Amino acid sequence: MTNMITGGEAVYRVLKANGIDTVFGLLGGSMLELYDAMYQGGEIAYVGARDERAAGHMADAWARMTGKPGVVLGAQAGPGVVNIVTAVAEAHLAYSPMVVIAGAITRADQCKDTFQEVDQVALFAPISKRSVMVTDPSRLVPMLEDAFRLANTGRRGPVVLHVPRDLFAEELPDFDPAPVNIARPGPASDDDIAAIAALVAEAERPVIFAGGGFKWSIGREALTSLAETLEIPVVASTGHADVMPHRHPWFAGQAGPRGNRVASRLTKEADVMVVLGARLGFNSTFHSNDYVGADTRIVHVDIEGSAVGRYFPAEIAAQGDARLTAEALCQTTTKPKCDAWRQAFKDDMDTLWTERAEEAEIDTLPMHPRRALAEIRDTLPESAIVTLDTGNTCLQAADRLAHYAPMSLITPLDFGLVGFGLAAAIGAKAAAPDRHTVAIMGDGAVGYTMIEIQTAISHQLPITIIVLDNEAWGAEKAYQQEFYGGRLLGAEIQSPRYDKFAELCGGKGIWVDGPGAMGPALKEAIDSGQTTIIQAKIDPGALMTLRKDLFKAPQNGKQ
């Protein structure tokens, strides 16, 4: 007679077979058989968050670090699952693979406006790669495996699998699952590689535009060799300033509106731009020729064919993996003759580094955010992982830090979500316990998820949170100041002593009161090995606006 196991046990086995050693969630009654299977199996760590949204951000960051889908247990049908919406939307725009196992009410109770019933499938449909309900016990395992396949195939993203709670208790035949085998595309075709090589060889002002595709494909070495073989500059797309090591002689850092002026000049003035593993999306270009030259001849290779040439016409359009394409190009391309362009780039970078070093000397009080960022940059260990948030200070941080190791920067910048960094740092730490993880956030952002400090402490996932406190929703305050005559409504906020809150939770708190204190505070936090909040008052006036195009100039003489 065949042995039988529960649906919960079956799900546990599929997770384990697919290399999932950590899952994130918040307890609810809808999948207790799965929790019990995890308890009894004991080989998958469970990080219990204090809000399902935070569990989602943790899984998202874990996925970005490991390359495997991050698993979220939305264990409470209805309200618990609804709370994950924000995290799924974030992962969707970041192309981060996630499998949400969402509890749903029992099959017998569906479509009766039952307690906690909500149309979960429809809710997630537009913000995920797939949102689907399992309706039969025999489909539970195949549909979960399919969720893993879809989340991690091609352009990655979240899949939400809704499982009626009775299915976890159903009996299924004993089985031993195999890992899901994911098809991986190869490099651009030989013909495309030859055409790209020919174009680059003749270029006078070439640049490589490298995106997150190099992170997913573990392609840092291939990208660096390509730059060194061709001796041409590389710029990174938004949020991916860690695609190459900081201060590598051919790396210009992040381009575009959130980037630095040298990288942005390169993409504007290039005659040939080789775009690999990137979309040239809004955040990196504003979809505008202000950031990509109108006459620039574009070679575009991405894992997602429909992204190629979407915003800027591609002269050579190819579908392929970023690392494999860079490796193939290394074998084929010859170094272009563009010494004047090279020299101008090097001179510009020297000036930029001098300016950045000068920011470390700004000694105004309250502390200028750039001074704080300079001290952070100079103190972070080379292996550190940084998570950012959305906001004015993080906008300035996106290109100002130093990332040396692969997979060192995790941002919410595609969705532009405030309140991401703290939870993301916990997920990153769970994926890479040996690396120090620092969340850099605004005073507004940290308030969304501050209780997750307790999660970090309870689960022995020590992280450092740096709160840059300008007593405002600074990014939005900047617009009210610049375009609405300084009439501030809802812009200024009062925050508690977050450092004291960390102490209340059993962690460490450090108050930074001015220039010179941030570096030592960060060092103290790192050396302590404890979850720490460093809170620093920074200059409320040091704000900048990004999207000036969205606002009319001040009207009616009211400015």
Ligand X SMILES: Cc1ncc(C[n+]2csc(CCOP(=O)(O)OP(=O)(O)O)c2C)c(N)n1
State which residue has the least CB distance to ligand X. Answer: 442
Site for Mg ion in 460-499 (CB under 5 A): 470, 472, 474
Preceding omega of 366 cis (within 30 degrees of 0): yes
CA distance 503 to 499: 7
Site for Mg ion in 354-373 (CB under 5 A): none
CA distance 424 to 62: 8
Q: Is residue 90 part of the contact set for ligand X (CB under 6 A)?
A: no
Q: Is residue 474 part of the contact set for ligand X (CB under 6 A)?
A: yes
10-18, 89-97, 345-353, 386-394 -> range binding ligand X (CB under 6 A): 386-394
CB of 126 to ligand X, least distance (A): 18
Q: Which long-range contacts (CB under 8 A, 24 or more apart) does 377-380 make?
A: 377/401, 377/402, 378/402, 378/519, 379/518, 379/519, 379/522, 379/523, 380/436, 380/438, 380/522
Q: Is residue 472 part of the contact set for ligand X (CB under 6 A)?
A: yes
Q: Is residue 380 part of the contact set for ligand X (CB under 6 A)?
A: no
Of positions 98, 143, 475, 521, contacts ligand X by CB under 6 A: 475
Q: Which is nearer to ligand X, 391 or 519 (CB)?
A: 391
3-state secondary structure of 375: helix
The interface partner of residue 18, options being ligand X, Mg ion, none and the CB cut-off 5 to 8 Å by kind, is: none
Per 3-state DSSP, what percentage of the chain is helix, strand, and coil (rounded to 5)?
40, 15, 40
State which residue has the least CB distance to Mg ion. Answer: 442
Q: Is residue 423 part of the contact set for ligand X (CB under 6 A)?
A: no
3-class secondary structure for 331-344? HHCCCCCCHHHHHH
Per-residue interface string for the shown chain with Mg ion, residues 403-442, x marking contact by CB under 5 A: ---------------------------------------x
108-116, 330-338, 383-391, 431-439 -> range binding ligand X (CB under 6 A): 383-391
CB of 392 to ligand X, least distance (A): 3
CB of 529 to ligand X, least distance (A): 27
CB of 311 to ligand X, least distance (A): 22
CB of 369 to ligand X, least distance (A): 8
Q: Taking CA 423 as the corner, what is the angle to CA 277 and CA 10, rounded to the nearest 5 degrees?
A: 80
Strands (E), 32-182: 45-48, 70-74, 98-104, 130-133, 158-164, 171-173
How many beta carbons lie within 10 A of that of residue 492, not counting itself?
Answer: 14
Q: Is residue 187 part of the contact set for Mg ion (CB under 5 A)?
A: no
Strand 22-26 versus strand 464-469 pairing type: unpaired
Q: Is residue 366 part of the contact set for ligand X (CB under 6 A)?
A: no
Q: Which is nearer to ligand X, 293 or 474 (CB)?
A: 474
**Signed CA dihedral, 15, 94, 263, 302: sign only:** positive
State the DSSP string of 127-161: GSSEEEE--SGGGHHHHHHHHHHHHTSSS--EEEE
CB of 424 to ligand X, least distance (A): 14
State the DSSP string of 506-517: TSEEEEE-STTS
202-210, 332-340, 467-475, 504-512 -> range binding ligand X (CB under 6 A): 467-475
4-12, 231-239, 400-408, 441-449 -> range binding ligand X (CB under 6 A): 441-449
The interface partner of residue 417, options being ligand X, Mg ion, none and the CB cut-off 5 to 8 Å by kind, is: ligand X
The interface partner of residue 418, options being ligand X, Mg ion, none and the CB cut-off 5 to 8 Å by kind, is: ligand X
End-to-end CA distance of the chain: 82
Of positions 157, 256, 442, 515, contacts ligand X by CB under 6 A: 442
Binding residues for ligand X, how many (CB under 6 A)?
19
Q: Is residue 443 part of the contact set for ligand X (CB under 6 A)?
A: yes
Q: What is the DSSP letter of 535?
A: E
CA distance 386 to 388: 6
Helix axes 52-66 and 421-431, enclosed angle (nearest 10): 50
Q: Is residue 396 part of the contact set for Mg ion (CB under 5 A)?
A: no
Contact predicate 375/360, CB 8 Å? yes
CB of 543 to ligand X, least distance (A): 7
CA distance 87 to 67: 17
CB of 246 to ligand X, least distance (A): 23
Binding residues for Mg ion, how many (CB under 5 A)?
6
Q: Is residue 473 part of the contact set for ligand X (CB under 6 A)?
A: yes
CB of 470 to ligand X, least distance (A): 5
Residues 6+ apart with CB under 8 A from 510: 499, 521, 524, 525, 532, 533, 534, 535
Positions that interact with Mg ion (CB under 5 A):
442-444, 470, 472, 474
Binding site for ligand X (CB under 6 A): 389-393, 416-419, 442-445, 470, 472-476
